[in-house]
Amino acid sequence: MERQTGGPEIEQMIALLSRVQGLGPRSARRAALQLIKRKDVLLVPLISAMKNVVDNIEQCRQCGNMDTVNPCSICADERRDKSLVCVVEEVSDLWALERAGVAKAQYHVLGGTLSPIDGRGPEDLNIASLLERVKDGEVKEVLLALNATVEGQSTVHYISDLLKGCDITISRLAHGVPVGGELDYLDDGTLATAITQRKII
Amino acid sequence: MERQTGGPEIEQMIALLSRVQGLGPRSARRAALQLIKRKDVLLVPLISAMKNVVDNIEQCRQCGNMDTVNPCSICADERRDKSLVCVVEEVSDLWALERAGVAKAQYHVLGGTLSPIDGRGPEDLNIASLLERVKDGEVKEVLLALNATVEGQSTVHYISDLLKGCDITISRLAHGVPVGGELDYLDDGTLATAITQRKII
């Protein structure tokens, strides 16, 4: 246990900061000192920004996205293609796809993947609400944009099995060499997939 | 500019988080999502811990440390050796020395180093208050525990020149091979210093 310096208030703040992703115990300590040193320009604004988020952000009742409006601005956006639903694991994946800026689609956030080891079954994910959305009729295609991990892919299989009865297209993301990637640095699985799923040019 | 997802409240929080040491734009985004996801167990407690710090922490009027009491708990600690003052650059250095747990001394935080390039002169550091403390008479030794950087060491020279008139011992930290360090990984400057300042055993 490290010695307390600066009193329990600072220690409490450091302890919580160290649980933030990307910060460890040491960097949390450094961050805390920086925040205190720049109290008026950084710490106080950050507190009010965080409070704003706590007070205003809620989960979209349709897709599970986080937004200040409900349904979220993506679900409410009339210019979006309502016939394509991208199913993602987490809100961060939704944001990543939005940043890429390709899919003018709607989303559905599962809230994780199936994981028997961690005791996460279908009832712990937003799968029932996905089936409801699909049965509503407007959806023509479900793109299962889950991570290319074992758990992500088994969730893809599970959901595509569930959706087989419905009259819709089910798709998944393409696997292969990342754009800008060098073959020498890629794992064998990716290379094998890139070869077996090669495209005729 | 990245697309806004999740509304201006979240973007504002991410923008401020990305200015925290140790977090970049991408990790700030991930941290923000984690904080929102774990709102009740992480974000809300963090806000209140930060508010606690803002409301209660002040700079010690004697040494420049951060604490909830003023003078700080180190300055107020009667068991400490008041004859030895460790001069450090920042509060983080004070904490590092306290963690090492060797010096049962008092401290004096300069608030930085002299830096002509950045326009930081003696009047921008807590040097005048250091001279006052020394002239008060209780201090017998000033340990200039500044970083072993060019700026840290020129500040050491500057302050030791100022203190030469006073009837006190002036010391600096030992330079050499870090404990646990391997010679092969050390820079030439450290190795040269370790040799020229070798100790007879």
Q: Out of B22, B32, B51, whose CB is closest to A23? A: B22
Q: Which chain A residues have a beta carbon less than 8 Å from that of B51?
A: 47
Q: Is the pLDDT of residue B41 over 60?
A: yes
CA distance A158 to A120: 13
What single string gives the DSSP state of each residue in B56-114? Answer: H-EE-TTT--EESSSS-HHHH-TTSEEEEEEEESSHHHHHHHHHHT---EEEEE-SS--
A37 to chain B: which residues are within 8 Å by CB? 91
pLDDT band (50, 70, 90) for residue B194: confident
Distance from CA of B162 to the nearest CA of A (A): 28
For residue B85, the distance in angstroms to the closest alpha carbon of chain A comes to: 17
All structural domains of chain A: 8-56 (1.10.8.420), 66-200 (3.40.1360.10)
Per-residue pLDDT, A163:
92
Which of the two residues, B194 and A17, has the higher pLDDT score? A17
Joined tokens for residue A18: 């160290």
Closest Cα of chain B to A201: distance in Å?
33
| Rounded Cα–Cα distance for residues B38 and A56 (Å) | 15
Whether B53 sits inside 8 A of A43 (CB atoms) is yes
Q: What is the ipTM of this complex?
A: 0.74
Name the more confident of A7 and B2: A7
For B146-167, how does the pLDDT look when each residue is reduced to its tens digit (9 = 90+)?
Answer: 998 999 999 999 999 999 888 8
Q: Which A-chain residues 104-163 have CB contacts (< 8 A) with chain B?
A: none
> CB distance from A34 to chain B under 8 Å?
yes
Inter-chain CB proximity A43 and B50 less than 8 Å: yes
CB contact under 8 A, A19 and B7: no
B98 at the A interface (CB within 8 A)? yes
Residue range A132-136: average pLDDT? 89
Asked if A58 reaches chain B (Cβ–Cβ under 8 Å), the answer is no
Q: How far is CA A115 from CA A91, A143, A146, in A?
A: 18, 21, 14
